[in-house]
Chains A and B, each alone.
Chain A
Amino acid sequence: MRTQRYFMLLILMLLMVSGCAAQADDRRNVITISAAASMKDSLEEIQEEFYNVHPDISLVFNYGSSGALKRQIEQGAPVDAFLSASKKHFVDLLEEEYIFTTNKNAFASNAIVMVTHKNSEFNRLNELLQNGKRIALAIPETTPAGKYAQEALENMGAWESMQSRIVFGKDVRHVLTLVEQQSVDGGLVYQSDAVSSQKVKVIKKLDASLYSPIGYYAGVVKKSENRAQAELFTEFLHQKISQDILVANGFLYPK
């Protein structure tokens, strides 16, 4: 019977795949770190370095957008440390006393860059700001990247004239996709996102004086039962070994 065969296929698939569901790491000190998803590659490399120094601590990461991660912490999520891609979310949680920090400075920075498709004929920033070219940036009201991009355009005196030619993506990743698919002529994104795509090229790193400083911040959740271990990790992020990894992935040293 066809139906039976269908069911068999289904059950087979379930059995094949489920095998033995893996158990979470049972080593003594497991700390959970909420982090911006865009930092995943760097964090996995930092995790290895951290393990070399502190083999008794194992790290698990919880990835999301900084805003969502902040709400989770406010609602008492079992998280030990918070790495924020936005200063505002970090400062809010400090002031609400959900987190504390041993180092108020940023552990990494980033830059806003103009990217085009790798086959694009455009190689200069001015070409993109003139002659009806369309560029994409993330929504300034909801994403820090969009806010920095808007500031930069304003300070270059291009915001007004660009108005009708700007396409707003929901986040940096969306902007990058628009450029990759050549739906727009160029896009303003973080340098760290630009290096992760093989289909775009950076034509201009915007001068850091054009927008507010970008910073990534680390704090320890006050309710955490592993505060000491979480502190070790957030402090590790401020060390050169971690920052070198971040820079290799397109981030910048903190200012």
Chain B
Amino acid sequence: MDQQFWFPIQLSLWVASIAAIIVFVLGILLGRLFVSERIKGKLIWETLFILPLVLPPSVIGFLLIMIFGANSAAGRLVENVFGFSVMFTPMAAILAAIVVAFPLMFQSAKMGFFSIDKDIVGAARIDGASEWGILRNIMIPLAGKALITGGILSFTRALGEFGATLMFAGNIPGKTQTIPTAIYVALETGDTKLAFIYVLFSISAAFILLGLTNVLNKRYN
């Protein structure tokens, strides 16, 4: 198999990995913030974070190009700082993946932190532990299972992201074409065999990853 065939798989794995790492850290920090602190407009923020889970991905893609496109303030800022526009680059694919995967990680982290006995955190605080120490040494280990599950789900979701990626990162073979957008083109041109191979890869990857979360759940229960 040649480079043309492997590129979407490589890119998808890179994009999903980087997006999952960013979402993992961001989800833990914001999950921690929203589980205990009183935040102004908490409900609105939370709804906003979860929104990408239910919005049509093409809408997310459209919003992303409105925000980061060359005609917007944010888009021009990025262009001035980095010297190129984000749109139609692998970075755009990563951004799209982050937006759609974040709700999964945020929810998992919040649930994980929420299930921790408040007395344990309280005791640590009385004994003089810093907030950072509590998060690192108590909350993250105790919510470990939920966090890892959230991370894997985020990676899987990022791997399968199509609509927003197509709009925002484009569908350029060898540059921004991921597995889902490669499947789209293969189907559109009647190349059922190629589409089938990519579909098989997607299903196997999702199966292994979701299987992994089940193994983890079993082990800890």
Residues of A whose CB lies within 8 Å of any CB of B are: 2-3, 6-7, 9-10, 14, 17-19, 21-22, 24-25, 32, 34, 37-38, 40-41, 60-64, 68, 71-72, 74-79, 173, 176, 193, 196-197, 223
Residue among A18, A34, A62 making CB contact with B13, cutoff 8 Å? A18
Task: Point out which of A10, A18, A75, A197 has the most chain B C-beta atoms below 10 A from its C-beta.
Answer: A75
A32–B177 Cα distance when bound, in Å, is 14
Residue among B3, B6, B70 making CB contact with A77, cutoff 8 Å? B70
Shortest Cβ distance from B50 into chain A, in angstroms? 26
Q: Chain B 64-75 against A: per-residue CB contact (8 Å), 1 yes, 0 no? A: 011001111001
A60–B4 Cα distance when bound, in Å, is 13
Q: List the count of A-B residue pairs having beta carbons below 8 Å apart.
A: 114
Residues of B whose CB lies within 8 Å of any CB of A are: 3, 6-7, 9-11, 13-14, 17, 58, 62, 65-66, 69-72, 75, 85, 87-88, 166-167, 170-176, 181, 184-185, 187-190, 208-209, 211-212, 215-216, 219
Contact B190 A76 (CB under 8 A): no
Shortest Cβ distance from B88 into chain A, in angstroms? 5
Measured CB to CB, the nearest residue on chain B to A79 is B88
Contact B174 A76 (CB under 8 A): no
Residue among B174, B188, B209 making CB contact with A37, cutoff 8 Å? B188
Contact B87 A76 (CB under 8 A): yes
Contact B170 A64 (CB under 8 A): yes
Contact A37 B10 (CB under 8 A): no
Shortest Cβ distance from B210 into chain A, in angstroms? 12
Q: Which residues of B contact A77 (CB under 8 A)?
A: 65, 69-70, 87-88, 170
Residue among A3, A21, A72 making CB contact with B170, cutoff 8 Å? A72
Contact B185 A3 (CB under 8 A): no
A10–B6 Cα distance when bound, in Å, is 17
Q: Which residues of A contact B215 (CB under 8 A)?
A: 2-3, 6
Interchain residue pairs with CB less than 8 A apart (11): A3-B216, A6-B211, A7-B212, A9-B208, A21-B11, A25-B174, A60-B175, A62-B170, A63-B188, A77-B87, A173-B187
Contact A37 B189 (CB under 8 A): yes
Contact A78 B3 (CB under 8 A): no
Contact B70 A78 (CB under 8 A): yes
Contact B208 A21 (CB under 8 A): no
Q: Which residues of A contact B176 (CB under 8 A)?
A: 62
Q: Which residues of A contact B209 (CB under 8 A)?
A: 10
Contact A40 B188 (CB under 8 A): yes
Q: Which residues of A contact B13 (CB under 8 A)?
A: 14, 17-18
